[in-house]
Each structure stands twice: as structure tokens, then as C-alpha cells.
Amino acid sequence: MNPDSYQEMLTAVKAFHAKHRFRETGGEEMTYRIALMAEELGEISSCVTKGKSKQALAEEVADLMILVMGTAIAGEFDLNQAFWDKMKKLTERPSRMINGRIRVSEFRDME
């Protein structure tokens, strides 16, 4: 087992979905998954704003990653390919300092 392999992580998430029968019991319904991801973002925010440990933050981010991978399973798309396609677009975009922080975007300025 290679813990750095995306494919092995995806296989583990697929097995988790199968074990709990997510597809048959509503666990792969997109609106539900969005709500779960929003909940995880709240937990990540809580870790940061309340100064919780790096371990606590890492666990919440891992939860979000598992949910995102599960959403790719539910949505039947290749997240690995989508990641690399998006990274290519991002590397071609400009960056700007906005309110003292770097931002990388398409910057569709309003005229």
C-alpha cells in the first residue's frame, strides 16, 4: 500500500461508500454532500479561530478531503483529472495583491 497514492485513497473512499451503502441510502445525494462539506468547513474554521491544535485542524481537513473525493465518486467524475486540468488553468492566471493578500484569479474587471 502506498499512502501517497491518489488511487489508493480513492479506493478506500469507495470502499467506505460501499460498506455503508451510500448510493442506496442517500449518502451520495449532492445537496446532502454540499451540506456535509459546509459543516466540515465550519469545523475547520472553528479549529483556526479557536486556536485548536494542528492535529485537530489536520483531522478536519482530512474529513473535507474525504467528502470531496466522495463527491467525485457520487458525481461520477475523475477528480484526479479535474485537479490537473484546473492546476493548468491556475498556473496561467495572474496574481494580484488585494487588501494585503495575494489572490490568483481571472480578474474580470468591471468596466
What are the distances in angstroms from CA 19 to CA 13, 14, 36, 80?
10, 9, 19, 23
Domain that holds residue 54: 6-80
Any idea what the CATH number is for the domain that residue 27 is in?
1.10.287
Task: Answer whether 33's CB lies under 8 Å from 17's CB.
Answer: no
Query: Is 31 a domain residue?
Result: yes
| Single-letter residue type at 57 | L
For the stretch 54-86, pLDDT in tens is: 999 999 999 999 999 999 999 999 999 999 999
Q: pTM for this one?
A: 0.87
Query: Is 99 a domain residue?
Result: no
The CA distance from 53 to 72, in Å, is: 29
Task: Answer whether 80's CB lies under 8 Å from 35's CB.
Answer: no
Residue ranges of the chain with per-residue pLDDT less than 50: 110-111
Q: Which three cell numbers stand for residue 34?
A: 454540499
Query: Is 66 a domain residue?
Result: yes
Query: Is 57 a domain residue?
Result: yes
Query: Is 104 a domain residue?
Result: no
